[in-house]
Amino acid sequence: MKLKNFSLPFGGQIFKALSDEARIRIMHLLYRNKELTISDLEHILDFTQTKTSRHITYLKNSNIVNARKVDQWVFYGIREEVEDIISQIFTFLNKDSVLQKDQELYEILKSNRELAENRVQNRGWIS
């Protein structure tokens, strides 16, 4: 479901949610990689669990991130309704060195099979 009418209040929520560098970094990783867990984000961003959870909660309360529970893991992803605007925002930030470094670290961790997605796939929970 795509957002048909973009209202000023909802736009304000999105821009407030992206007014913090930590949340921008989280959103960029979710945008590039679809779904990640708190643990994945902690490893990639070198944040504490508390900091990561606080920012994910803010993003969830802003209605731009959703959660999906699989066994012991909760996977967070960008809500379909806001994918278009998030895509536009990251079109302008695609050359940012911090965001590129975060994505490189994600690729390293994924290749080392340390992310929850791989653990779940290995158990056959995600197709």
Domain ranges for the chain = 12-114
Question: What percent of the chain shows pLDDT beyond 70?
Answer: 83
pLDDT tier at 119, thresholds 50, 70, 90: low
Q: Hey, what amino acid is at 87?
A: S
21-70: per-residue pLDDT in tens? 999 999 999 999 999 999 899 999 999 999 999 999 999 999 999 999 98
CATH number of this structure's domain 12-114, picked from the four choices 1.10.3720.10, 1.10.10.10, 1.20.120.140, 3.40.47.10: 1.10.10.10
Q: 72: exposed, middle or buried (C-beta count within 10 Å: 0-12, 13-18, 19+)? A: exposed
